[in-house]
């Protein structure tokens, strides 16, 4: 480990002044069991009286403050001759190193990396996943300079990244911004390569599970060329999919020419779950354009010290989600009725989210940094994914309808791709509205005010009709308006829908329901006890709150018994069938 640092130090410090400065990073991962790595960084010669080095407060794709300096331990700083330099912390993320004379600075620290689910840093005895924002300190003054990374890894480990690799365990990037958006995966992986449409792809799998990697790679190969259905070009030559088959955690993060996708290892089956995996894969891949290549002006350039505000995250996350499943449809991986089922699920979630009448997608975007997330926020807020997807859907159908199928929402994203490369400039909501006007010849300001800047009042029948579809609601059934999970001795309420019978009766999340009309309601009996009654019936509900047993009376209301379904209309017109084809770029489904 030390030897390698010495080599790097010599290469950097003794070389004649290069035209371009370079920051050299090294990571030793040879004792990974305790989730620890040893990191060093050599910063070029400076004549300033001090050098500030820091860790980001967040990472891209996760719009919340993570305080990534919290994994740094045993910090040291030395000069080019190895003499210790005085340093102090000046804020939670910044170390100020004082220089007595001009020179290079080498910092070293131990990194605790045990945050798999955050997709920031994870080191264990089987692999390491290193997002640079959670691994490598940087200095503002060298942000534009070259960087190199050298890894020292256990025997047999192989390393992958979107960055260029000049040799085994080595990566280089033209600046910090490329490094920070190019995570490194290293370990014993199953790795695959293929080329498609003139671009090179790698797929790595860490972990075992109920998936067939050959099948997954074959299916990913069908997804990638679907990008041409939206964009006229690719913003990369090489792209890396890093799949983690994990336990417990799940999620995925986009990067400039790579992505990390985490799926609980047994969640690749049955088919609906496998399609979720492929849909997530398409989502992350779409982000390579929408978010990485072009993005909102509030994040150009990314400021890693603090929150970066925008009212457009709905367009970045929701629209990406909106485009994902149609990639699978066009690739022949998903059937039309499976797509309709996913849309119906989205409609159902919207109907059971009182917050969709309270918060606009623009407001949800701006406040994403303090979003509580999860079901419990449903009464007062929306998430940028679901409601952003609905706003994208509304806009797409409105565009298709107004222009007789000439303009779709895909055209808006092609225009963003051509005009707003993020290394030059970002776009604002006004820019998007200008593109809409240019494409259609009419102003979309009123539409925007109604559906983006205010909570959209969605008429799903109206949304589905132009493309020859309709919503079919299930029969009515008794309804309480709560959801719960099994807890010791009863069922613990997770959500209570605002205005529902449970809300009116005074129930709140965390109440533990133990009996309805004197009968214990464990697990499956909980839903059945409500479903077996009639709308309008009043029941006595026994529950614990703060360990105190109590009872309330609850009068049930009525709700559709099952999720709605989306089906083709009985007699579609040629215009509906043509617009459907322009909407999804697949033929209108034949009558069953
Ligand atoms: Zn996303």
pLDDT at residue 221 greater than cutoff 90 = yes
What's the CA-to-centroid distance between 444 and ligand 1, angstroms?
A: 26
What's the CA-to-centroid distance between 388 and ligand 1, angstroms?
A: 11
What's the CA-to-centroid distance between 254 and ligand 1, angstroms?
A: 7
What's the CA-to-centroid distance between 527 and ligand 1, angstroms?
A: 33
Nearest to 62 by CA among 251, 270, 223: 251
CA dist., res. 250 & res. 261, Å (int): 8
What's the CA-to-centroid distance between 583 and ligand 1, angstroms?
A: 22
Residues sharing a CB contact under 8 Å with residue 256, sequence separation 6 or more, in sequence order: 162, 178, 181, 182, 235, 236, 288, 292, 293
Which stretch of DSSP H or E encloses residue 245?
strand 238-246
Please, is 433 exposed, middle or buried when counting C-beta atoms within 10 Å of its C-beta (0-12, 13-18, 19+)? middle
What's the CA-to-centroid distance between 496 and ligand 1, angstroms?
A: 28
CA dist., res. 254 & res. 262, Å (int): 12
pLDDT at residue 475 greater than cutoff 90 = no
pLDDT at residue 418 greater than cutoff 70 = yes
Q: What one-character-per-residue DSSP string does 251-275 give?
A: EEEE-SSEEEEEEETTTT-SHHHHH
pLDDT at residue 469 greater than cutoff 90 = yes
End-to-end CA distance of the chain: 66
Read off the tokens for 562: 């099952």
pLDDT at residue 150 greater than cutoff 70 = yes
- Which of 8-22, 232-246, 279-293 is predicted least confidently? 8-22
Nearest to 301 by CA among 210, 192, 139, 426: 426
What's the CA-to-centroid distance between 310 and ligand 1, angstroms?
A: 15
Nearest to 359 by CA among 448, 453, 497, 446: 453
Is-contact 466 425, C-beta < 8 A? no
What's the CA-to-centroid distance between 16 and ligand 1, angstroms?
A: 44
Mean pLDDT of 91-117: 97
Mean pLDDT of 15-21: 52
What's the CA-to-centroid distance between 386 and ligand 1, angstroms?
A: 11
User: Nearest 5 degrees, angle CA 281-CA 287-CA 289?
Assistant: 130
pTM higher than the cut 0.85 = yes
Task: Kindly report, residue by residue over 292-327, the tens digit of the pLDDT.
Answer: 999 999 999 999 999 999 999 999 999 999 999 999
What's the CA-to-centroid distance between 321 and ligand 1, angstroms?
A: 7
32-36 own/partner pairs: CB under 8 Å, 24+ apart:
32/123, 32/124, 32/125, 32/128, 32/154, 33/124, 33/125, 35/112, 35/113, 35/114, 35/122, 35/123, 35/124, 36/110, 36/111, 36/112, 36/113, 36/123
How crowded is the C-beta side of 62, counted as CA atoms within 13 Å?
A: 21
CA dist., res. 227 & res. 281, Å (int): 13
What's the CA-to-centroid distance between 280 and ligand 1, angstroms?
A: 8
Please, is 435 exposed, middle or buried when counting C-beta atoms within 10 Å of its C-beta (0-12, 13-18, 19+)? buried
pLDDT at residue 109 greater than cutoff 60 = yes
CA dist., res. 21 & res. 418, Å (int): 32
Task: Kindly report, residue by residue over 483-507, the tens digit of the pLDDT.
Answer: 999 998 899 999 999 999 999 999 9
What's the CA-to-centroid distance between 575 and ligand 1, angstroms?
A: 33
What's the CA-to-centroid distance between 209 and ligand 1, angstroms?
A: 24
What's the CA-to-centroid distance between 198 and ligand 1, angstroms?
A: 25
Strands 258-264, 251-254: pairing kind: antiparallel
Give the model's pLDDT for residue 559.
84
What's the CA-to-centroid distance between 319 and ligand 1, angstroms?
A: 9
Task: Kindly report, residue by residue over 124-143, the tens digit of the pLDDT.
Answer: 999 999 999 999 999 999 99
Residues sharing a CB contact under 8 Å with residue 236, sequence separation 6 or more, in sequence order: 162, 199, 256, 257, 288
What's the CA-to-centroid distance between 178 and ligand 1, angstroms?
A: 19
What's the CA-to-centroid distance between 314 and ligand 1, angstroms?
A: 10
CA dist., res. 63 & res. 126, Å (int): 29
What's the CA-to-centroid distance between 216 and ligand 1, angstroms?
A: 20
| Strands in 279-360 per DSSP E | none
What's the CA-to-centroid distance between 354 and ligand 1, angstroms?
A: 24
Give the model's pLDDT for residue 355.
94
What's the CA-to-centroid distance between 288 and ligand 1, angstroms?
A: 10
pLDDT class of 523 with cuts at 50, 70, 90: confident
What's the CA-to-centroid distance between 23 and ligand 1, angstroms?
A: 31
What's the CA-to-centroid distance between 118 and ligand 1, angstroms?
A: 14
What's the CA-to-centroid distance between 509 and ligand 1, angstroms?
A: 29
What's the CA-to-centroid distance between 306 and ligand 1, angstroms?
A: 20
What's the CA-to-centroid distance between 365 and ligand 1, angstroms?
A: 13
What's the CA-to-centroid distance between 483 and ligand 1, angstroms?
A: 27
What's the CA-to-centroid distance between 512 and ligand 1, angstroms?
A: 35
What's the CA-to-centroid distance between 364 and ligand 1, angstroms?
A: 15
Give the model's pLDDT for residue 15.
42
What's the CA-to-centroid distance between 253 and ligand 1, angstroms?
A: 7
What's the CA-to-centroid distance between 447 and ligand 1, angstroms?
A: 25
Task: Kindly report, residue by residue over 354-396, the tens digit of the pLDDT.
Answer: 999 999 999 999 999 999 887 878 899 999 999 999 999 999 9
CA dist., res. 170 & res. 157, Å (int): 13
CA dist., res. 72 & res. 111, Å (int): 5
What's the CA-to-centroid distance between 276 and ligand 1, angstroms?
A: 14
pLDDT at residue 592 greater than cutoff 80 = no
What's the CA-to-centroid distance between 180 and ligand 1, angstroms?
A: 17
What's the CA-to-centroid distance between 293 and ligand 1, angstroms?
A: 14
Which stretch of DSSP H or E encloses residue 327?
helix 319-330
Give the model's pLDDT for residue 488.
87
What's the CA-to-centroid distance between 299 and ligand 1, angstroms?
A: 15
Is-contact 518 540, C-beta < 8 A? yes
What's the CA-to-centroid distance between 114 and ligand 1, angstroms?
A: 23
User: Helices 574-584 and 319-330: crossing angle, nearest 10°?
Assistant: 110
Strands 238-246, 199-206: pairing kind: parallel
Read off the tokens for 118: 């955050």
Average pLDDT taken over every residue of the chain? 94
Give the model's pLDDT for residue 5.
38
pLDDT at residue 33 greater than cutoff 60 = yes
Task: Kindly report, residue by residue over 335-353, the tens digit of the pLDDT.
Answer: 999 999 999 999 999 998 9
Q: What is the CA radius of gyration of the chain?
A: 27
What's the CA-to-centroid distance between 570 and ligand 1, angstroms?
A: 36
What's the CA-to-centroid distance between 105 and ligand 1, angstroms?
A: 38
């Amino acid at each position: 480990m030390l030897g390698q640092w010495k080599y790097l130090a010599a290469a950097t410090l003794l070389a004649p002044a290069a035209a371009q400065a370079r920051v050299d990073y090294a990571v030793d991962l040879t004792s990974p069991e305790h989730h620890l790595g040893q990191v060093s960084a050599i910063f070029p010669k400076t004549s300033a009286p001090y050098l500030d080095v820091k860790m980001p407060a967040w990472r891209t794709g996760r719009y919340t403050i993570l305080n990534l300096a919290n994994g740094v331990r045993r910090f040291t700083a030395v000069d080019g001759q190895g003499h210790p330099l005085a340093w102090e912390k000046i804020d939670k993320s910044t170390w100020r190193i004082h220089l007595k004379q001009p020179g290079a600075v080498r910092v070293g620290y131990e990194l605790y990396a045990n945050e798999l689910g955050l997709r920031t840093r994870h080191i264990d005895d089987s692999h390491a996943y290193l997002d640079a924002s959670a691994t490598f300190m940087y200095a503002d003054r060298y942000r534009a300079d070259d960087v190199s990374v050298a890894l020292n890894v256990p025997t047999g480990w192989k390393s992958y990244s979107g960055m260029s690799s000049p040799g085994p365990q080595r990566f280089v990037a033209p600046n910090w911004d490329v490094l920070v958006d190019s995570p490194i995966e290293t370990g014993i992986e199953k790795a695959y390569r293929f080329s498609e449409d003139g671009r090179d792809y790698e797929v790595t799998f860490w972990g075992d599970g109920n998936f067939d990697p050959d099948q997954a790679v074959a299916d990913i190969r069908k997804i990638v060329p679907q990008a041409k259905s939206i964009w006229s070009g690719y913003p990369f030559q090489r792209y890396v999919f890093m799949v983690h088959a994990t336990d417990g955690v799940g999620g995925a993060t986009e990067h400039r020419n790579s992505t990390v996708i985490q799926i609980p290892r047994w969640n690749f089956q049955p088919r609906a779950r496998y399609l979720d995996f492929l849909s997530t894969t398409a989502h992350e891949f779409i982000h390579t354009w929408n978010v990485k290549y072009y993005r909102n002006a509030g994040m150009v350039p990314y400021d890693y010290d603090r929150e970066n505000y925008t009212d457009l995250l709905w367009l970045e996350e929701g629209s990406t989600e909106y485009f994902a499943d149609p990639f699978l449809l066009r690739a022949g991986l998903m059937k039309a009725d499976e797509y309709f089922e996913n849309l119906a699920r989205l409609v159902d979630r919207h109907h059971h989210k009182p917050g969709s009448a309270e918060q606009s997608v623009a407001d949800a975007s701006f406040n994403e940094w303090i979003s509580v997330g999860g079901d419990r926020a449903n009464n007062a807020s929306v998430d940028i994914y679901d409601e952003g997807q609905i706003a994208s859907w509304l806009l797409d159908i409105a565009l298709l309808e107004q222009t007789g199928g000439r303009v779709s929402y895909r055209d808006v994203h092609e225009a963003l791709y051509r005009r707003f490369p993020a290394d030059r400039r970002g776009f604002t909501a006004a820019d998007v509205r200008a593109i809409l006007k240019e494409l259609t010849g009419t102003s979309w300001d009123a539409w925007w005010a109604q559906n983006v800047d205010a909570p959209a009042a969605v008429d799903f029948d109206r949304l589905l009709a132009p493309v020859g579809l309709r919503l079919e609601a299930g029969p009515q059934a008794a309804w309480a308006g709560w959801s719960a999970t099994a807890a010791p001795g009863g069922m613990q309420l997770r959500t209570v829908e605002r205005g529902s019978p449970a809300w009116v009766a005074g129930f709140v999340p965390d109440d533990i329901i133990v009996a309805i009309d004197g009968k214990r309601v464990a697990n499956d009996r909980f839903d059945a006890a409500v479903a077996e009654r009639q709308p309008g019936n009043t029941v006595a509900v026994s529950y614990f709150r703060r360990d105190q047993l109590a009872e309330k009376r609850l009068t049930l209301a009525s709700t559709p018994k099952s999720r709605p379904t989306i089906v083709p209309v009985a007699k579609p017109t040629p215009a509906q069938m043509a617009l459907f084809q322009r909407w999804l770029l697949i033929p209108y489904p034949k009558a069953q």
